[in-house]
């Protein structure tokens, strides 16, 4: 089960023709991934997006170290439910949030899939 520490590579995302959040995920087994997440063009708080992502992943890691019965599928299901709740709170009908959620998820999954994997060095 992938758990571990999560950190951003930079305090501020790298700027090019599009905003990118450079993020490094390190699993408890020492595998690391450098992920370049393209940020949505209307992202207002780049640094806070990074901080929230780190906080969410830290929370999942802490939870899974004490709850060994939960599977990766269970975690994904809970995250999907939390996305649905958040979307419902801001968009009663889902007409706006549903396409946005699909776009954001597709972009993030593609970025994670394309991430370079390597063995993290230990200090």
Structurally, the chain folds into a number of domains equal to 1
Q: Is residue 94 part of a domain?
A: yes
Q: What is the pLDDT of residue 18?
A: 83
Q: What is the pLDDT of residue 123?
A: 60
Residue 37 domain boundaries: 6-119
Q: Which residues of the chain have pLDDT under 50?
A: 1-17
Q: What is the pLDDT of residue 11?
A: 40
State how far the alpha carbon of 14 is from the alpha carbons of 10, 59, 110, in Å: 8, 26, 18
Q: Is residue 39 part of a domain?
A: yes
Q: Is residue 1 part of a domain?
A: no
Q: What is the pLDDT of residue 28?
A: 83
Instruction: Encode pLDDT of 44-74 as tens digits.
Output: 999 999 999 999 999 999 999 888 799 999 9
- Cα gap 35→78, rounded to integer Å: 22
Check if the beta carbon of residue 37 is closer than 8 Å to that of residue 114: no
Q: Is residue 26 part of a domain?
A: yes
Q: What is the pLDDT of residue 120?
A: 87
């Amino acid at each position: 089960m992938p758990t571990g520490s999560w950190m951003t590579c930079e305090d501020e995302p790298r700027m090019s023709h599009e905003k990118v959040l450079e993020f490094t995920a390190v699993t408890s087994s020492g595998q690391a991934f450098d992920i370049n997440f393209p940020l949505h063009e209307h992202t207002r708080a780049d640094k806070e997006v990074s901080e929230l992502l780190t906080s969410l992943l830290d929370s999942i890691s802490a939870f899974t170290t004490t709850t060994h019965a939960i599977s990766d599928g269970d975690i994904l299901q809970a995250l999907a439910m939390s996305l649905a709740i958040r979307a419902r709170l801001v968009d009663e009908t889902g007409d706006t949030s549903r396409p946005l959620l699909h776009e954001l998820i597709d972009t993030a999954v593609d970025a994670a899939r394309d991430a370079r994997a390597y063995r993290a060095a230990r200090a």
